Amino acid sequence: MTDYTLYYWPIQFRGQIVRAVLAASGADWDEAGMQPTADLRAALPAEQPVPHMGPPVLADHAAGTTLSQMPAILGYLGRRHGLMPGDPGLAAMSDKIVADANDVLYEMTLYNGAQMWTAAAWADYRPRLARWMTLFEETGRRHGLSAEGGTLLGTGAPGIADLTAATLWGVMTDRFPALRPMLDATTPALAALCDRVRARPDQADLQRWSDARFGDAWCGGQIEASLRTVLEAAGTSDDTPQAG
C-alpha cells in the first residue's frame, strides 16, 4: 500500500503542484487515473470519500483522511511533512502564494475553460500575466530571495511556497516555451528559483516521469489548444517580453 492516492486528470496543471509536494516529501503515491477520477467527481456527494466538485482529491491512507481542494491539500501536506514555515506570518504568506497560484491557473485557462482564448484576449491578458510574475518575485524579494537563499522563497529545503512557485511558473514555461523569455526578462530571480528547485533530484525525477506519462499536455482540452494557437500567432508578430 502506498502512502497516498491522488485522483487527478492525466495532465500536469493544478495536480502537478500536489505531485511536486509529494515528491519533495519522499512519499509514495498511486495515481488513480482518468476514469476513477471522473467517476469520483460525478458521484453523489454522499457517496464521495470527500464531498467535492472536482479534483485534485488526495487520500492519506495512514490517516484515513481524504481531502479535496489544492490549497487545502497543500496546507495539510505542508504541515504533515514539515514543509511550512513555523512563523505564523510566513505560513500565511505561504498560503497566499498558493492562493495566487490557484488564481493564475484559473486565469490562464479562462476559468477552467469557461471561454476560449482569442488573440485579442491574450494581448489584453499578457500584462496581467507579467504582473502576476512580478507579484511572486517581489514577494520573494521582501523575504530575502537571492541565488543564495531566502526565508519564504529560495529556502535551503524547498517548502510549499517554493514548490508551488517553481511548479506553477516552471511547468508553465516548460510546456509553453514562448513564455519563458517573458519570465526571464520580467522576473529573473523567480526564473532562477524555478530552475534551482526543478533541478533537485526529486523534482527532476518527477518531471521525467510526468513527461513520459502525460506528454505535452498542460491543462489539456480545447482551452489548451486555444492557448497554443494564440501563443504561436503572438510569437510570429511579437516575441519580445513586455514590462507589466
Q: Which residue has 507579467 as its cell numbers?
A: 130
Q: Which of 20-28, 91-99, 150-158, 232-240 is the region at the interface with a copy of itself (rule: CB under 8 A)?
A: 91-99
The DSSP bridge partners found for residue 30 are 5
Cβ-based neighbours of 129, under 8 Å, separated by 6 or more: 104, 107, 108, 179, 182, 244
132 binds a copy of itself (CB under 8 A): yes
Binding a copy of itself (rule: CB under 8 A), the pick from 73, 105, 172, 230 is 73
The separation between the first and the last C-alpha atoms of the chain, rounded to the nearest angstrom, is: 48
Minimum CB separation from a copy of itself for residue 161, in Å? 11
Cβ-based neighbours of 68, under 8 Å, separated by 6 or more: 50, 51, 52, 53, 54, 55, 56, 57, 58
42 binds a copy of itself (CB under 8 A): no
Identify which of residues 11 and 73 has a Cβ nearer to a copy of itself in the complex: 73
188 binds a copy of itself (CB under 8 A): no
110 binds a copy of itself (CB under 8 A): yes
Minimum CB separation from a copy of itself for residue 7, in Å? 14
Which letter, b or e, does each residue of 19-40 get, where b requires 16 or more Cβ atoms within 10 Å of its Cβ? bbbbbbbeeebebbeeeebeeb
Minimum CB separation from a copy of itself for residue 76, in Å? 4
Cβ-based neighbours of 148, under 8 Å, separated by 6 or more: 154
Q: Under the rule (CB under 8 A), what is the footprint of a copy of itself? A: 45-46, 48, 50-53, 63, 65, 67-73, 75-76, 79-80, 88-89, 91-93, 95-96, 98-100, 102-103, 106, 110-111, 114-115, 131-132, 134-136, 138-139, 142
